C-alpha cells in the first residue's frame, strides 16, 4: 500500500523563472526500478557485443540532433534551471558536443586490449594482456545545477564503454530528464539500454538497493556520503564528483584586469551554482587595494536577469538560497565588509563581493554554491599555498601570474584534482583531461582516456603455449629443488654482472635444462629475450 501511494503522488516541475508549471511526473516505484534494472541487464548484454567502432558511430548521431535543435534545447534548460540562455548553450550543450566528438575519435584506441611483456624464463612460451570490460548497468545520479551536461556526460561515457544506464535526474530537473530520454530514443539504441528513474532521494535509495553494477554520482558532500554508505551495503563501486571550495590565487605580477574579469565570471556564472565556482579569492597584498577596486567596478557592470544583456539568471533552489543567506549573515556578523546587501527579487539574487574575511567564517569553509565572492589578502607564495590548501575540499583551482614557471610550481603544490593557470573553470570542459576531485571533493574521474576507463574494469589474461609435460614449479618439491630455485632467483635478481651470475648459479641453470626454455642450446636466445623483457617491464 505504501509503495502504491508513493507511485501515485505526482511530482511537479516548477520553473524558477516565474513559477510556471512545466509538467507533472509519476515517480518510479521500487517495483518499477527492479523491472527497469532487469531490462537494462538484457540490453547491456546486447550492447557490450556491439563493436566499439559501431557504438561510436551510433552515439555520434547525437551531434546533428543537438545542432538541429539548439534554440529549443537552450530554452528548455533556461525554463528548468533559471540560467541565462548563453550559459545554457556554453555550459550545458557545448561540453556535450565536444565530449561526444572526442570519444568518437578516441574511444576505440583508449579501450583497445593491451599486451603485457612476459618473462621468457618464468612464463616460457606465454603471452599476456589486459582487456577492458563494461561493468554492465551504470546508475547515473545527476544534480540540478547543470542537469543536461552532468547527466549526458557520464551517460554517454558509460555507453561508449559498453554499459547500459539507469539515469536518475534531480527532482528539480525533471523536464531535462524527459528531454534526454527523447534524444536517446532518436538514437535507436537497444530497448532498455537507457532508462529514466523519476523521483527524489528515496528513488535514489531504491535505485542503489536494486543493485546496479556501478554508481556515478554528482552532487554535494552530504549526499555523496549517503550514496557511498548505501552502495557499501551491497557493495557497489562508486564514482563521486562532489562539492568544491575552489581557490583563485592572484599574484601582483598577474594581468590584473584579465584576472578581475575572470574572478567575476568564475564566481558568478550560473549565479555561483557550479561545483567549480571560484569560492575563495586570494590576492597578494601588494595589489590587494587595486584589485578590490577593479572588482567593485566590474561588479557594477554585471546584469542580473533574462533581458537582452542578462548575465546572471535565477537561482534554482530555495534551499540553496537559504545557505547563501546564512553564509552572508555569518560573515557580516564576524566583521566582513560587503559591496552591498544580499538582495533578492523573486529567485534572482544580486551578486555580492565580501572582504575583510577569514577562515573562521562559514563562507570560507563550507560550499556556498551561490553568488558570493569572498576576497582575502596574502603576503607571499608560502602564505598563498597555506590558505589555498586549508580546506577539506580539493576540486579545482586557478593561479594567476605572468611568470608561468612560478605559477606552475605553485599549482604543483595545490591539494586539488585539477588546476588551471591564467584562466578559470574552462579546464574542466576539456574532453581529453580527466576531471574529478581530491580530499572530500570525491574520487574517480570522467572525461579523457582515464574517465572512459573508469566505466570499465580491467581483466588480465595469460596464455601459455608450452608443450612441456610439467612446469618447473609444479610438484614434486625437494630440498635440492629449493636450492635450485634459489639459484634461479639469484641469477635473475642478484648482484653482479651477467657472466658472474651465470657462473655462480650454473648448477641451478643446468638442473632446469629438461625444460625447453632452459635448454642449453636455447639459453643465449632466452637470455637476450630476458634482457629485453627486463628493459620493457
d(CA 505, CA 488): 7
Q: Any catalytic annotation for residue 392? A: no
Q: What is the DSSP letter of 306?
A: S
- Rounded to an integer, what distance in angstroms lies between the CA atom of residue 300 and that of residue 152? 35
CA-only gyration radius of the chain, Å: 29
Among residues 378, 214, 206, which one has the least CA distance to residue 280? 378
Q: Which burial class, exposed, middle or buried, applies to 393 when counting CB atoms under 10 A from its CB (0-12, 13-18, 19+)?
A: buried
Which positions ≥6 away from 377 have C-beta within 8 Å? Answer: 282, 283, 284, 285, 288
Residue labelled with grid coordinates 540532433: 65
Cβ atoms within 10 Å of 6's Cβ, excluding its own: 16
In the chain, the largest separation of any two C-alpha atoms, in whole Å, equals: 89
**Domain 246-427, what fold?**
Aldehyde Dehydrogenase; Chain A, domain 2 (3.40.309)
Residue 517 confidence (pLDDT): 47
Cα–Cα distances (Å) from 193 to 100, 238, 498, in that order, read 18, 20, 58
226 vs 124: CA distance, rounded Å: 50
User: How far are the Cα atoms of 88, 356, 398 from residue 146, in angstroms, in the given order?
Assistant: 9, 32, 21
Which set of grid coordinates corresponds to residue 532? 629485453
336 close to 357: Cβ distance less than 8 angstroms: yes
Residue holding cell 639469484? Answer: 490
Distance in angstroms (rounded) separating the CA atoms of residues 417 and 403: 22
Q: Determine the number of helices (DSSP H) and then strands (DSSP E) in the chain.
A: 21, 22
Domain residue spans of the chain: 31-242+450-459, 246-427, 468-536
* Cα separation, 146 vs 394, whole angstroms: 20
Out of 3.40.50.2300, 3.40.50.300, 3.40.605.10, 2.40.50.1070, select the CATH number for domain 31-242+450-459: 3.40.605.10
Pair 480, 191: CB distance under 8 Å: no
pLDDT tens per residue across all 537 residues of the chain: 334 334 458 999 999 999 999 999 999 999 999 999 999 999 999 999 999 999 999 999 999 999 999 999 999 999 999 999 999 999 999 999 999 999 999 999 999 999 999 877 778 778 999 999 999 999 999 999 999 999 999 999 999 999 999 999 999 999 999 999 999 999 999 999 999 999 999 999 999 999 999 999 999 999 999 999 999 999 999 999 999 999 999 999 999 999 999 999 999 999 999 999 999 999 999 999 999 999 999 999 999 999 888 999 999 999 999 999 999 999 999 999 999 999 999 999 999 999 999 999 999 999 999 999 999 999 999 999 999 999 999 999 999 999 999 999 999 999 999 999 999 999 999 999 999 999 999 999 999 999 999 999 999 999 998 888 888 889 999 999 999 999 989 998 999 998 899 899 999 988 887 664 444 445 555 555 655 655 555
Pairing label, strands 164-168, 194-197:
parallel
Pairing status of strand 114-116 against strand 126-134:
antiparallel
463 exposure class (CB count in 10 Å sphere: 0-12, 13-18, 19+): exposed
Residue 4 confidence (pLDDT): 39
The H or E element spanning position 321 is helix 318-333
Residue of 241, 279, 366, 367 marked active site: 241
Give ∠ CA 14-20-25 in degrees, rounded to 5: 45
Strand pairing category for 238-241 and 214-218: parallel
CA distances from 150 to 116, 302, 518 (A): 35, 26, 57
Amino acid at each position: 500500500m505504501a509503495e502504491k501511494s508513493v507511485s501515485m503522488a505526482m511530482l511537479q516541475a516548477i520553473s524558477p523563472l516565474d513559477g510556471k508549471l512545466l509538467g507533472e511526473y509519476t515517480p518510479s516505484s521500487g517495483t518499477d526500478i527492479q523491472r527497469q534494472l532487469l531490462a537494462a541487464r538484457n540490453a547491456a548484454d546486447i550492447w557490450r557485443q556491439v563493436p566499439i567502432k559501431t557504438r561510436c558511430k551510433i552515439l555520434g548521431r547525437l551531434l546533428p540532433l543537438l545542432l538541429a535543435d539548439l534554440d529549443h534545447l537552450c530554452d528548455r534548460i533556461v525554463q528548468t534551471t533559471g540560467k541565462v540562455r548563453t550559459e545554457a548553450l556554453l555550459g550545458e550543450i557545448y561540453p556535450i558536443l565536444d565530449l561526444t566528438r572526442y570519444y568518437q575519435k578516441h574511444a576505440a584506441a583508449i579501450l583497445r586490449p593491451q599486451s603485457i611483456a612476459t618473462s621468457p624464463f618464468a612464463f616460457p612460451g606465454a603471452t599476456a594482456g589486459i582487456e577492458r570490460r563494461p561493468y554492465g548497468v551504470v546508475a547515473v545520479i545527476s544534480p540540478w545545477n547543470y542537469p543536461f551536461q552532468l547527466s549526458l556526460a557520464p551517460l554517454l561515457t558509460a555507453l561508449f564503454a559498453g554499459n547500459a544506464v539507469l539515469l536518475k535526474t534531480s527532482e528539480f530537473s525533471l523536464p531535462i530528464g524527459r528531454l534526454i530520454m527523447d534524444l536517446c530514443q532518436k538514437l535507436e539504441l537497444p530497448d532498455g539500454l537507457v532508462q529514466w528513474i523519476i523521483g527524489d532521494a528515496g528513488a535514489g535509495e531504491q535505485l542503489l538497493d536494486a543493485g546496479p553494477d556501478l554508481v556515478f554520482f554528482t552532487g554535494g558532500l552530504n549526499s555523496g556520503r549517503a550514496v557511498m554508505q548505501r552502495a557499501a551495503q551491497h557493495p557497489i563501486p562508486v564514482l563521486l564528483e562532489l562539492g568544491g571550495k575552489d581557490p583563485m590565487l592572484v599574484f601582483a605580477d598577474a594581468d590584473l584586469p584579465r584576472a578581475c574579469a575572470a574572478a567575476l565570471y568564475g564566481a558568478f556564472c550560473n549565479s555561483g551554482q557550479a561545483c567549480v565556482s571560484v569560492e575563495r579569492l586570494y590576492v597578494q597584498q601588494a595589489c590587494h587595494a587595486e584589485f578590490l577596486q577593479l572588482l567593485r567596478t566590474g561588479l557594477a557592470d554585471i546584469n542580473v536577469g533574462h533581458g537582452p544583456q542578462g548575465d546572471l539568471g535565477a537561482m534554482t533552489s530555495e534551499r540553496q538560497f537559504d545557505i547563501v543567506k546564512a553564509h552572508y549573515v555569518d560573515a557580516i556578523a564576524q566583521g566582513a565588509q560587503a559591496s552591498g546587501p544580499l538582495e533578492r527579487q523573486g529567485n534572482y539574487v544580486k551578486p555580492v563581493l565580501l572582504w575583510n574575511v577569514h577562515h573562521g567564517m562559514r563562507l570560507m569553509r563550507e560550499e556556498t554554491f551561490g553568488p558570493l565572492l569572498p576576497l582575502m589578502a596574502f603576503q607571499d607564495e608560502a602564505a598563498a599555498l597555506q590558505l589555498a590548501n586549508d580546506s577539506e575540499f580539493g576540486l579545482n583551482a586557478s593561479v594567476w601570474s605572468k611568470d608561468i614557471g612560478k605559477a606552475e610550481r605553485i599549482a604543483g603544490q595545490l591539494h586539488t584534482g585539477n588546476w588551471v593557470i591564467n584562466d578559470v573553470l574552462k579546464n574542466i570542459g576539456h574532453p581529453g583531461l580527466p576531471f574529478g576531485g581530491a580530499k572530500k571533493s570525491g574520487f574517480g574521474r570522467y572525461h579523457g582516456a582515464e574517465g572512459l576507463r573508469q566505466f570499465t574494469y580491467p581483466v588480465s589474461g595469460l596464455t601459455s603455449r608450452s608443450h612441456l609435460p610439467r612446469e618447473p614449479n609444479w610438484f614434486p618439491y625437494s630440498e635440492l629443488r629449493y636450492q635450485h630455485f634459489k639459484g634461479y632467483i639469484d641469477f635473475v635478481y642478484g648482484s653482479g654482472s651477467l657472466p658472474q651470475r651465470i657462473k655462480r648459479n650454473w648448477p641451478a641453470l643446468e638442473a632446469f635444462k629438461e625444460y625447453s626454455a632452459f635448454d642449453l642450446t636455447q639459453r643465449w636466445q632466452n637470455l637476450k629475450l630476458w634482457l629485453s623483457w627486463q628493459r620493457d617491464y
